Amino acid sequence: MTVTEVTEIMREALWVTIKLSLPVLLVALIVGLVVSLFQALTQIQEMTLSFIPKILSVFTALVFFFPFMLTTLMEYTVTLFDRLQTVGAP
């Protein structure tokens, strides 16, 4: 396995990591902004008010995006195993 192949595998691993985490992080970001705006408008400074909606929205996003995340991870794993099989081949 050459340096170029290892670099390509690492690049794909980073891209898969971004693809898997981005939907959930975007949901947490949007909910955090909405809750912060609500707190600023109403001047309610309760700390639990920001955590509970984020936890519920992240959990819901994980449930909703789980099929996409599983498919993406399985495709990457199959591709990686196929590449590892060809390393030992003459």
pLDDT 10s digits, 19-78 = 999 999 999 999 999 998 998 898 888 877 888 999 999 999 999 999 999 999 999 999
pLDDT above 60 for 90: no
Please give the residue range of the domain that contains residue 69. 3-87
pLDDT at residue 46, as a whole number? 80
Residue with the two structure tokens 């990686």: 80
Q: How many domains would you assign to the chain?
A: 1
Q: In angstroms, rounded to a whole number, what is the distance separating the alpha carbons of residues 31 and 53? A: 7
What is the structure's pLDDT at 29? 95
Question: Average pLDDT of 5-23?
Answer: 93
Vertex 9 angle, CA 8 and 11, to 5°: 65
